[in-house]
Chain A
Amino acid sequence: MMSESGSEKSAIHTVGLTKYYGRHLGMEDVNLDVQKGEVFGFLGPNGAGKSTTIRTLLDEIRPTSGSATILGMDTHRDAVTIRRHIGYIPGDLALYPNLTGMDTLTFFGNMRGGVDWSYVDELADRLDSDLTRKVGDLSTGNRQKVGVIQAFMHRPDLLIMDEPTSGLDPLVQREFQKMVGEVSAEGRTVFLSSHTLSEVQRVADRVGIIRNGRLITVESVAELRSKATRQVEFVLDAEADVAAFEAVDGVRNVMVEGNHVEMSFGGDMGDLLTMATERYGIDDIKTSEADLEEIFLTYYHDGEEEMEVPG
């Protein structure tokens, strides 16, 4: 059990958070602890319970059991006070179609007692968002930009964002990631969910992985990256030696076809590159996105191994 003072240092702290929709499990026994000032990625496939957790934190839905605090305050009892300090983008964002972007931001700004409009203009500039058009006439991505501005505009202490980059083009995504970095640099906290590892690991310090309603692990991004298995391909200047590659820690399933070598890799990328560059000239290199399912498998795999290890 975390002490009271411990949870006050946390931006988000949950104890045994459980939600059942009737008999259907939403999430079970989720214990999260997000530190102030960190960027926390909440990772899981669709339907894993990410939105259920987030909606519970926002007091949209009430937990079947367990409790949660945000910035040391109870998510239900102190809901209104908490909301002064947070910015939020719901998953599958919906806005009022008959309002322009500017109207929308004015509306939500007014409910916070006004916002700094020069900052809103700056955010709109950075995201290349046209606030004069009606939200109903905007594409999904452009609508999402309005949602992002809405969450950032009052400089909240804690940003909770459910799949915030959905629909954004890569250029805007990069700008968004910079904005997240700046928030974190100012000592404010960011909690964002995603179903892709690459997106989360670009911005997050730590990642919590949820699956089938249960929090499987919380890891630093570096740790996670070392565990993530990905496909790696080299095109070398000479015929590849299977044994040399298999000798590197984390390499599995090596396949060689002349100068072309392909493998599953779940170790330190530096080790692999050092070995390869020492022995060969490299004509081309290609690594694929680490698959989330494979990471899950790694964890189940680890679990089994631990059980098999004697003593």
Chain B
Amino acid sequence: MTLANVFSKTIRDRWMGWAITAVSLTLFLLFGMSVYREIDLTIYTSLPEAFRSLVGIGDDIDVGGLAINVVFGTWGGLVVAAIALVMGASAIAGEERDGTMGILLSNPKSRTFVLLSKAGSLLMLVAVATVAVWATVHPIAAVLGVEIAGLDVEALSLHLFVNALFYGMLATAIGAMTGNRGMATGVTTAIMAVSFFAVGFLPLVEGGDGLLKFLPWYYFDGSDPATNGVAWGHIALLVSASVILLVASIIGFNRRDLKGQSVGTTMLDRVRGNPVLNRLIGRLAGSARVSSIWVKTMSDYQTLLLITSVVMFLMMGVMMGPMYASIPEETLTAFDQLPEQLIALFGGGDLSTPEGWYTFETFGFMAPVAVIVVTVVMGGGALAGEESRRTMSLLLACPISRNRIVIEKAVPMVLFAFAVGFATFAGVALGSLAAGLGMSVGNIAATAVLQSLIGLVFGSLALALSAATGRTSISIYGAIGAALFFHLFNSFGELNDGLADLGWLTPFSYYLGNEPLVNGMDWANAAVLAALSVVLIGLSFVLFERRDIRQQG
């Protein structure tokens, strides 16, 4: 039944990820509302306009508004768009990468039909997930006794749905036109991340407002749909853009050659294509790449590391210094008067100081996200990836133990976690120097070390899940889900005394808990994070050693 056609098969393959997303968002909403209900909201009334724009809080603030805007709006918007993006990138390019596109198209179905089926299933799943989350908002609010009558949740849901569809279609289009899933994911993520941050930042600087309309994310919540209702103009724009992308996908996909289960050609490959150079360089560079499992693993993930490190170094590091310097004096003065409790919410950063600014903009969110993405993808892919590609058989036919394979997969993850941390450190240090902010280099280094360690905790969790199950999706989604949960737990913990008592439970409290950018290294916190990682990696040995290797992906 569920395999009746491309449409239903795609839904069957993908529904689980969406179901997890919808359930998680619902839980976050429940969590958020019950926490916001407990706190004294008068602290928000004194906030300067500029600050509210930065954190996405509307003018008339109340419990319901906060929960809806922050959890449903910001978090929900990002997560649903990200899942749509992943699904879109895999739609066409993923089937090509897996080598299944050939057999799919050998059936009497046109490429256009396949593409429309994929786009249809994307539309369907985004819609169902949006409706599922929306449907729980009112009951949750009613049960908790939170007033949300003045809020247009339906309008926000519509914006969220159309916004996610746009990023899904953008990724689909790039994948359909190039057949390169990595490029589709990378480019779309970059556009999404840059526009998300720019929408928050631009209102702070003189003349920045004028640039907003060039950013796709602005059309999601720039009009504050929860307060002002549906901005039909914005919706129409996103829908038209999605339709244009769909048409571009169809044209692009129909015109090009299908890719085999192949891989891109790199510069190195071209050089090695030349027989004379090949003999010279092949042994030199090529052999180095495959000299051992851990070197090969590093080589496999070098692109991911490169992109993440460049983003952290340039955007989140170097650029943030001059950006801070460009914020008008009055705004900074306003930040200075923020209530204590609110400051705590953003990792203890006081926005009137450069340390607070970097904590809020770089280390509070993007830095852990970047390092966790790298470690979780590597940890989850480490063992489960070899199993789902069925290459584990040959690895295990070599005279090396299973423990050795775990070690050789864990080492690159550790190295890369510190590489991302180093890129962040270098960027922030340079940004501070360039803008003359005078931050302590030692403290920046300490914060970056803690950043690498928090990444390792969740990477090691992914590795342990990968060792236990041999399934990439469980490992990656499981670890990302845990990271999201603990991050939210940590943020809300700052606001709620009851939760604050349980703060020691979340790994994130050992990351920025002691304001390392201000106070320097907290060795006890570092030790906790390192010990957690060691325990999880140790668990991976045991779990992998006793398990049957999976035969299929």
Contacts and interface: CB of A to CB of B under 8 A. Distances in A.
Given A106-B286, A107-B296, A137-B262, A58 B548 contact: no
Assign chain B's interface to a size class.
35 or more
A90 B287 contact: no
A59 B546 CA distance: 10
B263 A98 contact: yes
A237 B398 CA distance: 60
A94 B391 contact: yes
Contacts of B261: 97, 136
A84 B399 CA distance: 5
Given A55-B551, A79-B401, A95 B394 contact: yes
Q: Give the residue among B289, B392, B551 with the most A Cβ atoms within 10 A.
A: B551
A229 interface: no
Q: Give the residue among A55, A79, A95, A97 with the most B Cβ atoms within 10 A.
A: A97
Interface in B274-328: 275, 278, 282, 286-287, 289-293, 296, 300
Interface stretch (A65-73, A108-116, A169-177, A292-300): A108-116
B406 to A, nearest CB: 14
B263 A134 contact: yes
A88 B263 contact: no
Contact of B393 (A60, A86, A136): A60
A98 B182 CA distance: 14
Given A100-B286, A103-B289, A136-B262, A90 B394 contact: yes
Given A80-B400, A100-B286, A102-B282, A108 B394 contact: yes
Assign chain A's interface to a size class.
35 or more
B471 to A, nearest CB: 16
B391 A96 contact: yes
A17 to B, nearest CB: 14
Q: Give the residue among B275, B392, B399, B551 with the most A Cβ atoms within 10 A.
A: B399
A285 interface: no
A182 interface: no
Nearest to A132: B278
Contact of B399 (A62, A93, A97, A111): A111
A150 interface: yes
Nearest to A62: B548
B260 interface: yes
Contacts of B399: 80-81, 83-84, 111-112
A88 B397 contact: yes
A113 to B, nearest CB: 8
B390 interface: yes
B49 interface: no
B263 A103 contact: no
B9 to A, nearest CB: 22
A61 interface: yes
A110 B392 CA distance: 16
Contacts of B275: 132
Contacts of B260: 136-137
Contacts of B12: none
Contacts of A112: 398-399
B390 to A, nearest CB: 4
Nearest to A136: B262
A179 interface: no
Interface in B387-430: 389-401
Contact of A136 (B263, B300, B391, B400): B263
A19 to B, nearest CB: 9
Contact of A111 (B282, B287, B289, B293): B293
A92 interface: yes
Nearest to A111: B398
Contacts of A276: none
Contacts of B291: 106-107, 110
A124 interface: no
A51 interface: yes
20 contacts: A58-B393, A58-B396, A60-B393, A60-B548, A80-B401, A83-B399, A88-B397, A90-B394, A94-B390, A98-B300, A102-B282, A103-B286, A107-B291, A107-B296, A110-B290, A110-B291, A132-B272, A132-B273, A134-B263, A137-B262
Q: What 4 pairs across the A-B complex have the smallest Cβ distances? A: A107-B290, A94-B390, A88-B397, A90-B393
Interface of B: 260-263, 269, 272-273, 275, 278, 282, 286-287, 289-293, 296, 300, 389-401, 546, 548-549, 551
